[in-house]
């Protein structure tokens, strides 16, 4: 059978590669894909992005199942349109995707269903937002309501910084429509983790846990990025905390969405802040897999992903199980010159190591230009490795990185530092 993965990042390369391992799968189309999915055995790029053209393609090619990687097409209603055309697709509807596409929607939802999260208020008026910040004091977090590709959140250390963020979003329209409403919330402290589950509207099946690294530079310094690396599992999620998150966050979210008349199916990503006492609060929901978390998570998956997705579409995830490689995995992102502000394109990439069972390079911002692999986006590659310990996985990834070259290559040398500290 033929499958379709929508998207072009490292997450989609890893998803398509994983799905292609399934014995039932003949071919995985990736739309539009990247320089890695262009050459990976079993995958084929299709140069499409507009939803109606994807629907027509899936029909014409008799695609068995479509999996949507990024949030933008989900928020635009790709799942509704595929379903209306009678096509099998895994992801939330446009209404359900509001858990990510509107932070105000997500906060109101969490309050309504008693899901632990930071205290908040939502504003469209800059003067009211400023007055709230004066009353609350700093540190405080200012978030654009809509999708802003990771650029919509300011963790303000001072009231002055919070005011500047409010003004640039509400008055300066820096983020356009996405910043026309802002959510202002209490600044939480603790350690973050990514908790991702598959949902079928009624049941949730957790994937392995992971931890992302949002900042550009070592020591968690510098600007926020889409994510510079991740590892799995995240030891901060102990078995006790895992059980609590399922009970206090995931189950109430699924039940709440069903009760509100918008049952949630698809990947659901809860970004958590875990305090010193093991209390987890939800920082945000994403309506998709994380990037780069997907890369280290999926290299540990031993079960057939297509089989699990079939359960999700049938509403029988309660009867599905996943088996994981007991080893630790890590993914280190290699980013382009100028990332995240103005990534440069067109730098030739050399020295990519051949994939082996312990190390595999997933592509993101790459493409093949006149027969050469060149950079074509901010996050270029994600070098993903497995090892008996985080330390071993990490050395393997950095050994592979030492062979890879492109002008302006930037990467963090401390991916996994929190996990290492716990051992
Ligand atoms: N209430 C909070 N307290 C402390 N830090 C926060 C809070 N909310 C967000 N952050 C920090 O800001 C980061 C981004 O916030 P959030 O996840 O809501 O934004 P996003 O743009 O949706 O992110 P992503 O690109 O991961 O989807 C978080 O990973 C966390 O580090
Ligand atoms: Mg988000």
pLDDT attached to residue 328: 98
Flag whether pLDDT at 42 surpasses 80.
Answer: yes
User: What CA dihedral angle connects 114, 213, 349 and 339, to 10 degrees?
Assistant: 90
Shortest-distance ligand to the CA of residue 227? 1
pLDDT in tens, 86-124: 999 999 999 999 999 999 999 999 999 999 999 999 999
Report CA(284)–ligand 1 centroid distance (Å).
Answer: 7
Ligand 1 atom at minimum distance from 100 CA: 22
Q: Give the whole-angstrom CA distance, residue 71 versus residue 152.
A: 15
Q: What is the CATH number of domain 125-180?
A: 3.30.1490.20
Shortest-distance ligand to the CA of residue 285? 2
| 135 CB-near residues (< 8 Å, 6+ apart) | none
Confidence of residue 49 (pLDDT cuts 50, 70, 90): very high
β-partners of residue 215 are: 224
Confidence of residue 241 (pLDDT cuts 50, 70, 90): very high
Ligand 1 atom at minimum distance from 214 CA: 29
Report CA(298)–ligand 1 centroid distance (Å).
Answer: 23
pLDDT in tens, 359-408: 999 999 999 999 999 999 999 999 999 999 999 999 999 999 999 999 99
Report CA(153)–ligand 1 centroid distance (Å).
Answer: 6
For ligand 1, atom 13, the nearest C-alpha belongs to 153
Shortest-distance ligand to the CA of residue 211? 1
Percent of the chain whose pLDDT exceeds 90: 98
Whether CATH 3.90.1150.10 fits 191-319: no
Q: Mean pLDDT across the chain, nearest whole number?
A: 97
Flag whether pLDDT at 219 surpasses 80.
Answer: yes
pTM of the model: 0.97
pLDDT in tens, 290-336: 999 999 999 999 999 999 999 999 999 999 999 999 999 999 999 99
Burial of residue 368 (CB within 10 Å: 0-12, 13-18, 19+) is middle
From residue 328, give the alpha-carbon distance in Å to each of 221, 232, 300, 351, 397. Answer: 25, 6, 8, 25, 12
**C-beta separation of 331 from 230 below 8 A:** yes
**C-beta separation of 74 from 92 below 8 A:** yes
Burial of residue 326 (CB within 10 Å: 0-12, 13-18, 19+) is exposed
pLDDT attached to residue 149: 84
**C-beta separation of 406 from 375 below 8 A:** yes
What's the CATH number of domain 328-422, 3.30.1950.10, 3.40.50.1700, 3.90.600.10, 3.40.50.2300?
Answer: 3.90.600.10
Q: Which of 74, 191, 284, 286 to mutate to test the pocket of ligand 1 (most atoms within 8 A of CB)?
A: 284
Question: Domain boundaries in the chain?
Answer: 2-91, 125-180, 191-319, 328-422
pLDDT in tens, 138-168: 999 999 999 998 889 999 999 999 999 999 9
Flag whether pLDDT at 36 surpasses 90.
Answer: yes
Pocket of ligand 1 (CB under 6 A): 118, 141, 143, 150, 152-153, 155, 185-188, 192, 214, 271, 283-284, 286
What's the CATH number of domain 2-91, 3.40.50.20, 3.10.20.30, 2.160.20.10, 3.40.50.450?
Answer: 3.40.50.20
pLDDT attached to residue 242: 98
pLDDT attached to residue 423: 73
Report CA(285)–ligand 2 centroid distance (Å).
Answer: 6
Q: Which of 9, 118, 119, 141 to mutate to test the pocket of ligand 1 (most atoms within 8 A of CB)?
A: 141
Q: Give the whole-angstrom CA distance, residue 346 versus residue 350.
A: 13
């Amino acid at each position: 059978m033929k499958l379709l993965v929508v998207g072009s990042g490292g997450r989609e390369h890893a998803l398509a590669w994983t799905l292609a391992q399934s014995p039932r799968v003949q071919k995985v189309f990736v739309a539009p894909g990247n320089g890695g999915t262009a050459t990976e055995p079993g995958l084929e790029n299709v140069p499409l992005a507009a939803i109606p053209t994807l629907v027509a393609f899936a029909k014409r090619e008799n695609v068995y199942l479509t999996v949507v990687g990024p949030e933008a097409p989900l928020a635009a209603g790709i799942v509704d349109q595929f379903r209306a055309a009678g096509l099998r697709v895994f992801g939330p509807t446009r209404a359900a995707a509001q858990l990510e596409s509107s932070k105000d929607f997500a906060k109101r939802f969490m309050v309504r269903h008693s899901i632990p999260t930071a205290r908040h208020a939502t504003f469209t008026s800059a003067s009211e937002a400023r007055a709230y910040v004066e009353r609350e004091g700093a540190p405080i977090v200012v978030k654009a309501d809509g999708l802003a590709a990771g650029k919509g959140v300011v963790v303000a250390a001072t009231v002055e910084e919070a005011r500047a963020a409010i003004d640039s979003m509400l008055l300066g329209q820096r983020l356009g429509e996405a910043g026309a409403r802002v959510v202002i919330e209490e600044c939480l402290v603790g350690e973050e983790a990514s908790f991702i589950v598959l949902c079928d509207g009624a049941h949730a099946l957790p994937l392995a846990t992971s931890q992302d690294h949002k900042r550009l530079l070592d020591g968690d310094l510098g600007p926020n990025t889409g994510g510079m690396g991740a590892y799995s599992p995240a030891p901060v999620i102990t078995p006790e905390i895992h059980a609590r998150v399922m009970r206090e966050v995931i189950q109430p979210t699924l039940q709440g969405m069903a009760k509100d008349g918008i049952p949630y199916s698809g990947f659901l990503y809860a970004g958590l802040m875990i305090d010193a006492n093991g209390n987890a609060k939800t920082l945000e929901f994403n309506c998709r897999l994380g990037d780069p978390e997907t890369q280290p998570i999926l290299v540990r998956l031993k079960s057939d992903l297509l089989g699990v997705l079939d359960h999700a579409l049938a509403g029988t995830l309660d009867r599905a199980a996943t088996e994981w490689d007991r080893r630790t995995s890590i993914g280190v992102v290699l980013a382009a010159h100028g990332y995240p502000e103005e990534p440069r394109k067109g730098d030739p990439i050399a020295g990519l190591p051949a994939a082996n069972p312990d190390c595999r390079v997933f592509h993101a911002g790459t493409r093949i230009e006149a027969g050469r692999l060149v950079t074509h986006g901010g996050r270029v590659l994600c070098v993903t490795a497995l090892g008996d310990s985080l330390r071993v996985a990490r050395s393997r990834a950095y050994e592979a990185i030492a062979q890879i070259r492109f002008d302006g290559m930037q990467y963090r040398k401390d991916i996994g530092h929190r996990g290492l500290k716990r051992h």
